[in-house]
Amino acid sequence: MFNYIQGKNMYEEKIEMTAPVISQVSPSDGPVCASSFVVSFYVPKKNQANPPPAEGLHVQKWGTTYTAVRQFSGFLMDSSVGEETAALYDSISGTLWETAVDKSHAGETATTYTVAQYNSPFEFENRVNEIWLTFTMEDEFTS
């Protein structure tokens, strides 16, 4: 993605970096399986109508998305991501949000989550990160 925003795309156009950079994580279901990651960023408004294409990258449009969020600071480490994800899930335990998350991720071996990073890698202080658990809102949750 760094090369893409630096102009290595089919229009040879530099693109303004946006925040957050998000990584969707699908945890592995066993000790010999690897987790999968999809890394994304928001296309700047001026490029949204016609984003520069690039080999190996594609544009995704998101519809309305509901998300339970936990914010934390510091540089990301595998251990902190796991701890923060568990803390977010614990914080919604016993609520209708837990039910919505579980229902939305039914059939997954482990719940997919998203890590959002708001700072440049060159910013060392006041870093902002989030863990997201996305879900859909069914009629029974909104009435």
List C-alpha distances in Å: 128 to 44, 71, 78, 92, 105.
Answer: 20, 7, 16, 21, 26
CA distance 117 to 26: 17
The average confidence (pLDDT) of the chain is: 90
Q: Which residue has the higher pLDDT, 65 or 92?
A: 92
- Looking at residue 96, what is its pLDDT? 92
Q: What is the mean pLDDT of residues 53-70?
A: 91
Residue 87 within any structural domain of the chain: yes
In total, how many domains does the chain have?
1
Q: Domain limits at 114?
A: 62-143
Residue 15 within any structural domain of the chain: no
**Whole-model pTM above 0.75?**
yes
Name the phi and psi angles at 115, rounded to 5.
Answer: -110, 125
Residue 110 within any structural domain of the chain: yes
Residue 46 within any structural domain of the chain: no
Q: Find the DSSP H helices in 59-113.
A: 78-92, 96-104
DSSP E strands, the chain: 21-26, 36-41, 66-72, 113-117, 129-135
Residue 33 within any structural domain of the chain: no
Q: What is the pLDDT of residues 91-105, one digit of tens each?
A: 999 999 999 999 999
HSE of 65 in the Cβ direction (CA atoms, 13 Å)? Answer: 10
Q: What is the pLDDT of residues 123-139, one digit of tens each?
A: 999 999 999 999 988 76
